[in-house]
Amino acid sequence: MNTTNNWLIHDHHKYDEMLTECEMAAEMADWKDAVRLFNEFTNDLKLHMQLEDEIIYPLFEKKSADAIDAMTELHEQHEDLVRLLTDLVSVIKNKNIDHFMESLVPLHKIMNEHNQFEEEVFRRLGNDDLLMRRDEVMQQLSALQAKDGYHAKKWTC
């Protein structure tokens, strides 16, 4: 897999950077910016996970019966991430740097494990087909975003 051409892998790196920016703002006690960055991070990550759950993973599941177990595990990892992010909304509101930084440890761990596993699954199942269908996938994402109520469940602080 050529990571320079894979927009999904690029997103994984982007989320690491976004979370680091949020951490830096919190460490400087700039909670207004930390909250803003956290909201951007979580809402963008939510869209990324929704793209995968509703569009990308089903493409792999249709392609191969072997993909179903891997996609199930990836869905479950997304659910774990959502739980951690939901908990972090409360943590960041308290503006306690020690608690916030401590709460980020499991988030980083699960994000890294998920990203590594997902990238390995994509390589194993044939990422080239997905890359060739990028325009189709992005059109489906646009349609997904246009659905009524899409923005109803944000994790804003």
Structural domain contains residue 152: no
Structural domain contains residue 150: no
Question: What mean pLDDT comes out for the span 22-32?
Answer: 95
Q: Is the pLDDT of residue 95 over 50?
A: yes
Closest CA to 87 of 157, 140, 7: 157
Considering its fold, how many domains does the chain have in total? 1
Answer for the pair 42, 86: CB distance below 8 angstroms, yes or no.
no
Mean pLDDT of the chain: 83
Cβ neighbour number for residue 105 with a 10 Å cutoff: 9
pLDDT tens for residues 77-94?
A: 999 999 999 999 999 999
Q: Is the pLDDT of residue 126 over 90?
A: no
Domain range enclosing 50: 7-144
Q: Is the pLDDT of residue 39 over 90?
A: yes
pLDDT tens for residues 51-69?
A: 889 888 888 888 777 788 9
We report the CATH number of the domain holding residue 72 as 1.20.120
Structural domain contains residue 154: no
Structural domain contains residue 156: no
Structural domain contains residue 149: no
pLDDT range class, residue 150, cuts 50, 70, 90: low
Answer for the pair 42, 155: CB distance below 8 angstroms, yes or no.
yes
Torsion sign, CA atoms 62, 64, 66, 67: negative
pLDDT range class, residue 135, cuts 50, 70, 90: confident
pLDDT tens for residues 98-112?
A: 999 999 999 999 999
